[in-house]
Every structure is written in structure tokens, then in C-alpha cells.
Amino acid sequence: MRHKHPVIDPYIPGNGNFGYRVSRYELDLEYKVNSNRLSGSATITAATLASLKTFSLDLSHALSVSKVSVNGRRPESFRTSHDKLHVTLATALPAGAALKIDVRYAGNPRPLRSLWGSVGFEELTNGALVAGQPNGAASWFPCDDHPSSKASYRIAISTDNPYRAIANGELTSKRTRAAMTTWTYEQPEPTSTYLVTLQIGVYDSHRMAKTPVPMTAVLPARLRHHFDHDFAHQPQMMKLFVKLFGQYPLANGYTVVVTDDDLEIPLEAQGISIFGANHCDGKRTAERLIAHELAHQWFGNSVTVRRWRDIWLHEGFACYAEWLWSEGSGGRSADHWAKHYHHRLASSPQDLVLADPGARDMFDDRVYKRGAITLHVLRRTIGDDAFFDLLRDWTARYRQSTAVTDDFTGLAANYADSSLRPLWQAWLYSTELPDL
């Protein structure tokens, strides 16, 4: 498919849109579990960045649009093609104008096919989930689906009783009428579209006791016993990460969802981590993943890459957090893990540039492990005090914002006595694996 427009991010060339900036999404949706039918409306508050007569939003072709209005008026026309909703206005809006877009839509949502498999809205055996990374948000609402586009959200979702619906932010109301309950969530912190989620299932919810940040568990009743064992260390993890990475970035606390189905990998959303029943087996086999997903609340969710090529800033950091948890909880040291994985990387193909791995390899395990080792080498170079001061400065300075690799290397220079350029050249910009 040829792109008439310049591309915002070559890793997801079809995604993102020009001419406006979104500040808020308000979703009023209804979801019928048995028929997998999603319907409702999205109200998008934005501002024009240039004079605008036509614009587009990302939206899956599985959803059909029945009505569009812009600033309360009907546009000249709207049409959908190639997972885009195209809108043409009767008269152009000047730069800096308010843009309030209402879209009514409905359909049977399904995941979008991508280079990385299926992403987005997925049916479970008895419920649904959204796994949006990196470009699956358009599978369930019209949006500007790019990590650099952050906005606040209000999500009202009606679904059949006895299902529970979970979305990002604080549950501000829960209204039951006849056979349906409407759950309304408010997420004030700026959030990337791929980090917005919907989780629907026959779940119980309980607050975890004695946690420094409010923590909630949402899961099927049958898994409660295993959960209490497998996830018992989360409060200590939170305590350690707040100490090492700085204040937890969200006002509303942290929610862990465990689905009734098995999931291949857990996934992060803003303020939420989602695990499968297989990660809750009573044997504590997912401890590393629990630490990884929690660390994403700082690295990835609060500080988000402006373009996907810099994904090591998410995954290298979350992977290093696994090693820091291991070290901090009486397990093996970060040094041990760095050596262990360096040895493994040495026998893997050395054809990947960490700071620009290419779309196909952006979730390659080498990005995670080499990213983590790069941070370990930096820590050994500048010393523990400077290293953790740098991490806390990084998460504070770019909190709820976006950043690129140069922002991190530029900030790190303030914490080093000599030039870090050779370190970055070797670890971030060369394919060859340097010695430890």
C-alpha cells in the first residue's frame, strides 16, 4: 500500500495522523460479550496544528461509522479505508482552532494483523481484553494511534452482568440498570493510545493490603489462592522501585488483572498489568515478569518513546528492573545476570543496532537483554549513586511525556566525569557485541 502522506513513524507507517493534536478522548461504549458486539461513540478533543480541511483518524475496518460531527456540525463527507477514517470539512479551520470530533460507530471488534502478530481487541473464552502494543488501539476506538500522541481519557463501558469491566484510571461510577452495568473510568494523566485498555471478565476485585501505593487485584475467584502466593512480593517490588526510580507516576495506584485464559506474554497498560492464568500457577514462576511489568509504569508508560525505534528505553529498562529486583530481594546480582545474558548474546546473531533495531526486530529478546546490559555497563562506569540519581532525574524530567535516545544520553552526560560517547557508540550504535 502506498502512503500519500509523509510517514510519522517508519516502524508503523500506516499509523498516526497529521494536522491536529488530541488532548482528550471520551468513550461511551457498550459491549455484548456473547455476540462480541461493540457500539457507541467517541468524542475527541483536539486542536488544529495547521489550517485544516481534511484529516484522518486510525480506525479498524471491522468497525463501521454511522455518524461524524465536527464542532457540532456535519462534515462535508467522511469515509473509511485502509483502517483510516477520513473526514472532509465544509470549510477549513484555521491553525490553533478547537476541534471536537464525535464519531458514532459499531461492529464486531477483532485484533489487527501486524508484523508482530495480532494486536488490539481480542475475545477471551468468557470476556475480552485489549493488548494494544504497538498499534492496536484502532481495533476498538477511533484515535491518533502513535506513542507520541498522549491524551487524557474518560471511558464509560456498559456490559452484561455479571461481567466486570476494567479500564485505565479511577473507577468514578458504577451504575446497574436491568441486565447491564456501566463502568466509568477517568484517566487524567496523559496516556499513549496503545496503553489504553479494556478488560472484561467474570472477575473479583480486591485491594491488596499494606502497600505503599494502592494496589488492586482483579481475577477469577478460582485463582485467588495461587495469586496470594505468586504475587505476594509485589508490595516489596513497589517499595524498591519507588526508591530506585522515584515516585510512582500515577495518582490512582496500580491494578493487576489475571485473565481466566492463558496468555503467551503478560502486557502493560497505563496503571495496569495483565497476566494470564498460566502466570498464576502457585509456583511463583512469573516473579521476573511481575517485576518487568511493574517497572514499565515508569519506563514506557510514564516516559514513553516518541518513535518506536527507541524501544530499548522501554524494554532495556524494564528488563534491567528484573535484575535490580533479583539483586534487591536476595537473589542473584545484576552483575550475575549481565554476565549470564552477555554470554548468551555472544552466541546470537550480531546484526542488530540497539538504538534502531528495525520494525521486525523491535520486540526481539536481544533488544531487552542488550538494553539491560547497556544500563549495567553505564552503572559500572558512573557508579551506583550517579546511576540511580540519573534514573530518578530521567523519570521526573520526562514524567507523562515522550523522549528519544538522545534525551537519555544527553542527560547521562551530566552524571559522568568523562565522555560516555565511546560507551554509547559501542552499545547503542554498533551491531557487534562489546566485551563486558
pLDDT, one tens digit per residue, over 362-414 is 999 999 999 999 999 999 999 999 999 999 999 999 999 999 999 999 999 99
Under the banding of pLDDT at 50, 70 and 90, the label for residue 212 is confident
Q: Say how far apart CA 178 and CA 379 lie, in whole Å.
A: 58
For residue 223, give Cα distances in angstroms to 202, 204, 270.
12, 10, 24
268 in Cβ contact with 195 (< 8 Å): yes
Looking at 223-282, which runs of residues are DSSP E strands? Answer: 254-258, 267-269, 272-275
For the chain, domain boundaries? 20-107+136-175, 204-297, 305-427
Measure the CA–CA gap between 274 and 45, rounded to whole angstroms: 29
Q: Looking at the predicted structure, is the pLDDT value of residue 277 above 50? A: yes
pLDDT for residue 209 is more than 90: no
Rg (CA), the chain: 22
pLDDT at 4: 58
Grid cell, residue 434, equals 562489546
Q: Is 91 exposed, middle or buried (0-12, 13-18, 19+ CB in 10 A)?
A: exposed
pLDDT confidence tier of residue 63, bands split at 50, 70 and 90: very high
- 343-346 long-range contacts (CB < 8 A, ≥24 apart) are 344/369, 345/369, 345/370, 345/373, 345/433, 346/433
pLDDT of residue 250 exceeding 50 = yes
Express as a percent the part of the chain with pLDDT over 90: 98
* Alpha carbon distance 428, 356 (integer Å): 8
Residue 257 has pLDDT above 50, yes or no: yes
Residue 3 has pLDDT above 80, yes or no: no
Please determine, for residue 282, whether its predicted confidence score (pLDDT) is greater than 80: yes
Is 217 within 8 Å of 225 (Cβ atoms)? no
Distance of CA 255 to the CA centre of its chain: 14
Q: Are 141 and 42 in contact (CB under 8 A)?
A: yes
Buried b (16+ CB within 10 A) or exposed e, 369-381: bbbbbbbbbbbeb
Residue 1 in this model has a pLDDT that exceeds 70: no
Q: Which of 397, 400, 352, 345 is nearest to 376 (CA)?
A: 345
Contacts of 250 (CB under 8 A, 6+ apart): 189, 270, 271, 297, 302
The stretch 9-30 carries a mean pLDDT of 97
What's the pLDDT at 6?
81
Domain covering 305-427, topology: Neutral Protease; domain 2 (1.10.390)
Question: Mean of the pLDDT values across residues 175-201?
Answer: 98
* Residues in a beta bridge with 186: 154, 170
Type of residue numbered 246: G
Torsion of CA 254, 322, 238, 185, to 10 degrees: -10
- Residue pLDDT, tens place only, 92-118: 999 999 999 999 999 999 999 999 999
Residue 432: phi, psi to the nearest 5? -65, 140
pLDDT at residue 5, rounded to an integer: 66
Q: Does pLDDT of 313 surpass 80?
A: yes
pLDDT surpasses 90 at 145: yes
Neighbours of 335 (CB within 10 A): 14
- Average pLDDT estimate for 260-289: 97
pTM to 2 decimal places: 0.97
Residue 330 has pLDDT above 90, yes or no: yes
Q: Is the pLDDT of residue 2 over 80?
A: no
Q: What angle do CA 406, 10, 62 make, to 5 degrees?
A: 130
The SS3 call for residue 96 is: coil
C-alpha span between 64 and 106 (Å, rounded)? 6
Q: DSSP string covering 113-176, please?
A: EETTEEEEEEEETTEEEEE-TTT-GGGTS-B--STT-EEEEEEEEEEETT-EEEESSEEEEEEE
Summarize the confidence of residues 223-244 as an average pLDDT.
97
pLDDT tens-digit readout, 291-302: 999 999 999 999
Cα–Cα distance, 127 to 240 (Å, whole number): 34
DSSP H or E stretch at residue 337: helix 334-346
- Does pLDDT of 10 surpass 90? yes
- Mean of all residue pLDDT scores within the chain: 97
Please check the confidence at residue 221 and state whether its pLDDT lies above 90: yes
Q: Give the architecture (CATH level 2) of 204-297.
A: 2-Layer Sandwich (3.30)
Pick the closest to residue 14 from 86, 111, 82 (CA basis).
Answer: 82
Backbone phi and psi for residue 424, each to the nearest 5 degrees, phi listed first: -65, -40
Fold of 20-107+136-175: Immunoglobulin-like (2.60.40)
Average pLDDT over residues 80-90: 97
For range 51-62, the mean pLDDT: 98
